[in-house]
Structure 1
Amino acid sequence: MLSILFISMIILLISMMVMLLASILSKKTFIDREKASPFECGFDPKSSSRMPFSLKFFLITIIFLIFDVEIALILPIIMIIKFSNLLMWSFTSIIFILILLIGLYHEWNQGMLNWST
């Protein structure tokens, strides 16, 4: 037990020394205006680099990520049908898919899926 504690202290000490050395060596001595500005083919930018983007793209991305994760959760449900009670498996699967359909209906009802507007 004492040897594990001793080895972990040595590892902690070495890692803290490496982090301290890296932070000391990585400090920049000067700030260059060209390196701090956004890159645009070597020329000064014509407009602000913080342009607003369409909120529709963001919402579609969030909807895609949510349904992508849900597909990853549905796939193991198919695999565990052999090892579980059929009634509980069916009940859980139906509730999960029902929640997905309610979420999809809510997104559709709120107009998040309409591109034309």
Structure 2
Amino acid sequence: MLMIFFISLALSFLLILINSFISKKMISDREKTSPFECGFDPKSTARIPFSLRFYLIAVIFLIFDVEITLIMPMPIMIFQNNLMSIMFLTLFFISILIVGLLHEWKEGALQWDL
């Protein structure tokens, strides 16, 4: 058992050593190994202007996406539980969504022409 352990340890060490010799990077490949973040140069200033509208729309999309996943199983629940309680729950949930959408509309979060 000890012999198998030492053989596997030596084989692992040998493969790591061979890999380090084979994969040596040339100095000309320095550009390939530099970090690349969404088209921005990471060595320049990190304080570039970012549109807050994109962030707000992404958050609104995320909220409504989660709400859709909560609405999807409701038709299946109609067959398993009391119809009136499920309908009340569904209408209550959708009314909260509509009130939230009207509030976002009133606040101007959905306007792109500013």
Shorter-chain TM-score tier? 0.5 to 0.7
Do residues 49 (structure 1) and 46 (structure 2) align?
yes
CA deviation profile, 1:35-80 (whole Å, cap 9, x unmatched)? xx96589x884x4133231111100000000000000000011111
Report the counterpart of residue 108 of structure 2 in structure 1. Answer: 111
Query: Which runs of 5 or more structure 2 residues have no equivalent in the other structure?
Result: 1-29
Cα distance between partner residues in 2 of 1:96 and 1:115: 28
Of 75, 80, 95, 1:78 maps to: 75
Of 64, 68, 71, 2:65 maps to: 68
Do residues 90 (structure 1) and 80 (structure 2) align?
no
| TM-score normalized with structure 2 length | 0.62
Which 4+ runs in 1 deviate beyond 3 A? Answer: 37-41
Q: Which has the larger radius of gyration?
A: 2
CA root-mean-square deviation: 2.6
Query: Which runs of 5 or more structure 1 residues have no equivalent in the other structure?
Result: 1-33
SS of the equivalent of 2:88 reads helix
**Judging changes above 3 Å, is the alpha-carbon distance between structure 1 residues 39 and 75 closer, same or farther for their aligned structure 2 residues?**
closer
Letter in 1 for 2:61: F
Report the counterpart of residue 99 of structure 1 in structure 2. Answer: 96
| TM-score normalized with structure 1 length | 0.60
Number of residue pairs matched by the alignment: 80
Percent identity of paired positions between Structure 1 and Structure 2? 51
**Judging changes above 3 Å, is the alpha-carbon distance between structure 1 residues 90 and 48 closer, same or farther for their aligned structure 2 residues?**
same
Cα distance between partner residues in 2 of 1:93 and 1:82: 14
